[in-house]
Amino acid sequence: MFSLMANCCNWLKRWREPARKVTLVMVGLDNAGKTATVRGIQGDNPQDVAPTVGFSKVDLKQGKFEVTIFDLGGGKRIRGIWKNYYSESHGVVFVVDSSDVQRIQETRETMAEVLQHPRIAGKPVLVLANKQDQEGALAEADIIENLSLEKLVNENKCLCQIEPCSAVLGYGKKLDKSIKKGLNWLLSNIAKDYEAITERVQKDTAEQRAQEEQDKKERAERVRQIREERSEESSLQQFKKVLFARMFI
C-alpha cells in the first residue's frame, strides 16, 4: 500500500513538472536533408523542399520537452552564421548526405569545426546519416570511418549517436523510426544533465550578448570617428575654397 502511494506521488510529481525548454541546432552541408528532416519531425511533408537561405526556426512539443530547432543553411557562404547559434544550443543534430561520397571530406572538416567550437564541445551530438534510400549510400560503419567520428567525439568529449535514416520516406507518425530514435536519444541525454547544460547555455548566451553589445559600440564609435574626420575634411576644403576665392577679390 505504501509502495503504491509512493509510486503515485512520484508520478504526480513528474506530471506536474514544467516542460523543459531545449534548443537544438541542425547543421550539415547544403543538400544534406536538414529541412526535410525538420519538416518530417514537425509532421509536414518533406518532399520538394527548397534550400534554406540563412536559417529557419521550428518550435514543437516532444513529450515533456518544448523544443526549438534552428535549421541552419549549409552553403559555404552561410556556414559562418552557425557559431551565432551555438551558445543557446543544448545539443546538435548533424545531418550527413550518405550518398554524396564526393563531399565526405568536406563533411568531415565541417563536422570537426563544429565539434571543436568551445560553445559546442561537450554537448551531445546526434548524427543522422541521411539518404540511405539512395543508391551507393555509405553504410553506418563507413560513415563513422570516413568522418573519423570516434576520434572527433572523444577529443571533444561529446556524447554521440549515429542513426542511418531516410528523411523523405515519411513524416509525422510515419517518420523514419531511426530519426525518432535518434531524437529521443538526444533529448534523453540532455535531460540527464539538463541543469548543467542549461547553466552553460545561460552563461554562454550572456557572454555572447555582452560581446555583441561591445562590438556594436565599437562599430558605432568607428562610424562616429569616420564622420568626424569627413566633417573636418569637408570644413577644411570649404575654408580653402573661401580663402582661394578671396585671393582674387
Range of the domain at 185: 2-191
Q: Are residues 42 and 126 in the same domain?
A: yes
- Enumerate the known binding-site residues for Mg(2+): 35, 52
Q: Report the C-alpha gap between 33 and 37 in whole angstroms.
A: 6
Q: Are residues 40 and 69 in the same domain?
A: yes
Q: Are residues 201 and 151 in the same domain?
A: no
Q: Are residues 46 and 146 in the same domain?
A: yes
Q: Are residues 131 and 246 in the same domain?
A: no
Give the H/E segment covering residue 61.
strand 55-62
Alpha helices by DSSP H, listed for 158-193, are 177-192
Q: Are residues 12 and 78 in the same domain?
A: yes
- Ranking 18-32, 140-154, 188-202, 233-247 by mean pLDDT, the lowest is 233-247
Residue 196 backbone phi and psi in degrees, to 5: -65, -45
Q: Report the C-alpha gap between 34 and 96 in whole angstroms.
A: 9
- Enumerate the known binding-site residues for GTP: 28-35, 74, 130-133
- Enumerate the known binding-site residues: 28-35, 52, 74, 130-133
pTM: 0.82
pLDDT tens column, 31-61: 999 999 999 998 888 776 666 667 889 999 9
pLDDT tens column, 200-245: 999 999 999 898 788 788 888 888 788 777 776 666 677 667 666 6
- Considering its fold, how many domains does the chain have in total? 2
Number of alpha carbons in the 13 Å side-chain half-sphere of residue 230: 6
Cα–Cα distances (Å) from 140 to 99, 115, 216, in that order, read 12, 19, 45
pLDDT tens column, 155-181: 999 999 999 999 998 888 889 999 999
Strand pairing report for 65-72 and 91-97: unpaired
Asked if 74 contacts 27 with a C-beta cutoff of 8 angstroms, the reply is: yes
Q: Are residues 24 and 61 in the same domain?
A: yes
- Ranking 86-95, 106-115, 144-153, 213-222 by mean pLDDT, the lowest is 213-222
